[in-house]
């Protein structure tokens, strides 16, 4: 079981706005809040976003380099996946594999893929296929 995940972000304010509503939608609640970071928790784990130091910003993130490829969250239903997708479209968020939605992960996999402000890939998976 994962205790927590911590991600460095290029713009804490932008990431907080992006992730705050999404994590709330998925059942997370605000947990910690300090000058350089924010976190949200569910029942047993939490996710943290920390402002990267200026000297490490230049290289940026790319999911095809060594490191994390994407984060996948379980939705409560297909309807929740659909609702999140509608909100992301309204926010003009980059939806990945849009032409294959909702089966970009395969015919038996109902999921939505998109990118956060730092282009970290996020997946929302429906529990009932």
Determine the pLDDT at residue 60. 84
Determine the pLDDT at residue 35. 96
- Whether 59 is covered by a domain: the verdict is no
| CATH number of the domain residue 4 falls in | 3.10.180.10
Do 127 and 97 lie in a common domain? Answer: yes
Determine the pLDDT at residue 19. 98
Rg (C-alpha) for the chain, rounded Å, is 15
- Whether 61 is covered by a domain: the verdict is no
Closest CA to 93 of 114, 120, 71, 111: 114
Determine the pLDDT at residue 41. 97
Is there a contact between 4 and 46 (Cβ–Cβ < 8 Å)? yes
Determine the pLDDT at residue 70. 95
Closest CA to 38 of 59, 21, 63: 21
Do 75 and 129 lie in a common domain? Answer: yes
Domain boundary among 54, 82, 98: 54
- Whether 64 is covered by a domain: the verdict is no
Do 74 and 50 lie in a common domain? Answer: no
Determine the pLDDT at residue 16. 97
Number of domains in the chain: 2
Do 74 and 114 lie in a common domain? Answer: yes
Per-residue pLDDT of the chain (129 residues; tens, 9 = 90+): 889 999 999 999 999 999 999 999 999 999 999 999 999 999 999 999 999 999 998 888 888 887 899 999 999 999 999 999 999 999 999 999 999 999 998 888 999 999 999 999 999 999 876
Determine the pLDDT at residue 66. 79
Please give the model's pTM, rounded to 2 decimal places: 0.91
Question: Residue 122 class from Cβ within 10 Å (0-12 exposed, 13-18 middle, 19+ buried)?
Answer: buried
Domain of 114, in residue numbers:
69-129
Do 7 and 31 lie in a common domain? Answer: yes
């Amino acid at each position: 079981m994962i205790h927590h995940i911590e991600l460095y972000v290029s713009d804490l304010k932008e990431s907080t706005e992006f992730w705050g509503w999404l994590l709330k939608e998925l059942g997370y609640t605000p947990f910690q809040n300090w000058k350089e970071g924010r976190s949200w928790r569910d029942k047993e784990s939490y996710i943290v976003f920390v402002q990267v130091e200026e000297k490490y910003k230049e290289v940026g993130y790319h999911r095809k380099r060594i490191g994390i490829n994407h984060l996948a969250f379980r939705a409560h239903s297909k309807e929740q996946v659909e609702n999140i997708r509608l909100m992301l479209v309204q926010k003009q968020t980059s939806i990945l594999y849009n032409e294959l939605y909702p089966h970009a992960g395969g015919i038996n996999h109902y999921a939505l893929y998109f990118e956060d402000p730092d282009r970290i890939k996020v997946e929302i998976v429906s529990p009932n296929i």
